[in-house]
Amino acid sequence: MTSSTFSSVSCLLKDESKILKVKKRNEGKVFVKCSVSTKAQKPQPEVRIGVLGASGYTGSEIVRLLANHPHFGITLMTADRKAGQPFSSAFPHLFTQDLPDLVAIKDADFSEVDAIFCCLPHGTTQEVIKALPKELKIVDLSADFRLQDPSEYEEWYGQAHRAVDLQKEAVYGLTEILRDKVKGARLVANPGCYPTSIQLPLVPLIKANLIQFGGIIIDSKSGVSGAGRGAKEANLYTEIAEGIYSYGITHHRHVPEIEQGLSEAAKSKVTVSFTPHLMPMIRGMQSTIYVQMAPGMTTEDLHQHLKVSYKEEEFVRVLEKGVVPRTHNVRGSNYCHINVFPDRIQGRAIIVSVIDNLGSFTSPCFLNTLVPVNRLKRTCYMT
């Protein structure tokens, strides 16, 4: 035991002389009562983070990623229903972390915060973000700033957008595709989980004109945690277990987000057929995508182009030929695994893409834009 191991050690010897006169049967044994403090003084973080809505599933993932990060420190966490309680009351598995207690948003003090992760439900973040100090960098993990057209937001989410000026400022945060834009943004709209699993394989192929823009069919499956932590009858164990449930057929809210990204890549309108399914598992997501290849293209061409496109991206892995992506292999991580297979129908390809729907997939990449690039590897503490 040395001073370099512990910050302070105090040994209480009540009667040193008595210890030296031990009974014969205990000869050679010395019993010392010690009080040991192992808590070293924590260095000041380079970037101070506030997490709004920290008691939800997405909030817990952000806290998990940040808690041990060498460049970030959490100085504020809000959760209205659990205000005044320690974070461990919501997520006991993170009880060892040195974290502030939860507070209500109305009582939040932003004077010790440099950047915000907003993990509040859809439809609630616009007014909150509008009221935040202008100098803060913000990542919004709801859908409130993902759609560039406010009228489209109103159509799909059933309410008028209440922060139109902020929407003009927001940058869509699919970091692997839009890293340069994300770096300079003050407000980043974190992509949805389904759109992330779909756009990562399709955007490079569309940009390279390797697939046709029409007739894209997407079959996606998600773990139940994607629906959030709120109590809902449809998400009860007895409703979900031992079955598969298709929902939002033709009108799921992620459709305009998916089509927005693919249309930008194609520089023309892209319409997809998208059907999501709820699976009896906690976390994980798979998108199986059916595409028509451009004339003369093969699945090997698609596979090779994806390999080249993502060769410098740590969190996107194009698997070796024939290896089927599995949600088990990305569980609890920020990785996306992709592969391409030939369809039995001539000229068509099947693309399989898997992510962890709770991994807030691109948020970890945005974290790295908050500190100088030469100071931090993109992989640092992000899994």
Give dist(CA 214, CA 263) in Å, integer: 11
- H-helix or E-strand containing 198? helix 193-207
User: In sequence order, which residues have a C-beta less than 8 Å from that of residue 281 and are 6 or more positions away?
Assistant: 223, 224, 327
10 contact partners, CB below 8 Å, separation of at least 6 = 34, 35, 36
d(Cα 143, Cα 122) in Å, to the nearest integer?
Answer: 6
E strand or H helix at 140, and its extent? strand 137-140
Clarify whether 118 is annotated catalytic. Answer: no
136 burial (CB, 10 Å; 0-12 / 13-18 / 19+) is middle
Which is catalytic among the residues 119, 193, 336, 365?
193
Backbone angles phi, psi at 220, to 5 degrees: -120, 145
Spatial separation of the C-alpha atoms in residues 126 and 120, rounded to whole Å:
10
Name the one residue in this structure whose structure tokens are 């908050």. 370
| Geometric angle at alpha carbon 178, from 173 and 182, rounded to 5° | 55
What is the C-alpha separation between 136 and 115, in angstroms, rounded? Answer: 5
**Residues identified as active-site:** 193
